[in-house]
Structure 1
Amino acid sequence: MKALIKKKNILLLIIIIFIILFSFGLKLYNIKKINDASPDWRASDYRQIDKVIRFGYSKQNILVEMEVDKKIWPLSLVKEEQRKVDNKIYRLEGTPSPYAFNQHYFVTSELVTSIEYEKTKKFNIKVYALKEKKAEEIKTFSLLNSVKNYNSDYTPWDIDNLLEYEGDTYIKVKIDSKNGKGSTTAYVNLETEKVEEIPVTENKNDSKYNSNLFFTYTNFTKQQQTLSVYYDNNNSIFTLANPYGNDVSNIYMLKKYPELKNSVETTTAFDIQLYESVSADELAHWLVPKKKNPYQDIILQGKNSNDGKEHRINSIEDFNKFYKTDKT
């Protein structure tokens, strides 16, 4: 009798072990199936704000320090239902999270969109109010619904920047036609969450405009191993970042604004917006060590010059002389 009970216990133990091993093997198989599947969908999560610094004349310039963007979502962060599209299992590939900010607001997004961006399943916006030293979350809404309510033939796939018009703040949104009519731009009011028609003009007739493109169309950032610079033509401001992780500990800007030193030296996940009046030449000198020539070995490639030839650039005046302005 004891022998029979012992055999039954052993058999039960074997069954239990088999079930455990089978379940574990099935889990590994499903994970492998997900990892090996075609990455037909991209996904991103909200960016988190770590710090806000206001600096410069009247504290009008702003630095926002963010957590490092999640380039790839770990499987543990992806819900099972998000892995399935049309009853098929797919791997969600991470993509940088679209975000934008100005002196008053920071918007970040979570989205699930197809690899070619022709179809969007989710596009949510989280809005923060930027206070003196921190960000305060104030609302979340569906950008997908905002665009759908405006025109159901279009879907959003990216956000560009924030604009102010008659006291309201708008998100500049890139939208794409579901019917092959191409892409266009929409402006979503942060307060009403609705797409509205607003007059938006680029300041290309501004005499400073060409000069400010010096950072975009020369090898300045790469040659000087410094911060990258983007000129926002809608808002007429410079945006600075360090996407390449360059060592910028000796640049003059950190001597001029020492409160930025820790953020700029220790993380690549920050953006700086300059609202005070700064010329391209002044900014070029800020982004190299004091007394260093910012125009050393700076090149304008032939594809960006008005005569199709490569030019050495020794000043902003040189850039304005040779830059091809009629880009279309």
Structure 2
Amino acid sequence: MRIVTLEEHVSFPEMTKLIPADILGNKKPSGAATLMMPKLVDITGERLNSMNDSGISMQVLSVENTDVNLLDSTLAPEFASKYNNLLAEKIKDHPERFTAFAHLPMTAPEAAADELERTVKTYGFRGAMVKGLTNGDFLDAPKFAPIFERAEKLGVPIYIHPGVPPDAVMDAYYSNIGNNTGPFDPIACWGWGWHSETAIHVLRLLVAGIFDTYPKLKIIIGHMGEMLPIMWDRSNKSFQPGNGGQNQRTLIDTFRQQLYITTSGFFTQPPLQIALDTIGIDNIMLSVDYPFSSNQMGIDFLNGIQLPPEQVAKIAHGNADKLLGLQP
């Protein structure tokens, strides 16, 4: 069976070296990213061998780090363009195995929209991945409208991935825990905070009317829906049209039409069942979160899904092929 995975990461140290030292400051890659750096750098070595061994047909690659967000609107566009050019160069000899989401200069939204269009038209990239907040701003801020407008025009999705919480959030919610005065990363990031913040991000887009303004826009989120499926009914009741938000449709109607989720890093069946019962089979796509999860973990999970073969095929590749315009 054809298998496509969508949240698979790369990072190229030669690009990080282009960030001026005074801008980079004390910011360093996470411990997990540092440990995984050899795997993040690699594309056609161990990564491709692992794909072959596990039966993965194609990975959609995206840049793991958010160095571009450290740069202001004058420097970010060129940096993002160089990163995308390098990524395109590294995958060009394996078009049947790799494609990518663009790395965007979010501090310069107009340039980000242009870079999205350039990478889609020049390299065949399948959309863009945006990581967390940009200088503390969520994507419902009016300045980001050009990105949504262009994505809708191009017919490509925006993948919203968690990012490191802003310092104020770190201080207020994730620091001073017991005798530990510093931030506790597992709560702030992969253990909880990342996922709740991404859910908030999507809910803000709903309440701000972004989905209604751009009714053909498609948004992807990972990690089995970033907690939204478990809150499905309660949130739907809370965010009804006319309850103070700008949304013209219910959460359920909007998300089933415009929101897609991936399984990245979630490899047990109960969360999948909740997702199936809420957002539905046509909106769920397989992802691994490589190299932070192994390709084999994703395949073992896929093989354990107790659904008819045609429905498993939708999760494995059919929904992704349709959404991203991939040619099997």
- TM-score, structure 2 normalization: 0.26
Q: Report which structure shows greater RCO (CA 8 Å, sep ≥6).
A: 2
Larger Rg: 1
More helix by share: 2
TM-score (norm 1): 0.26
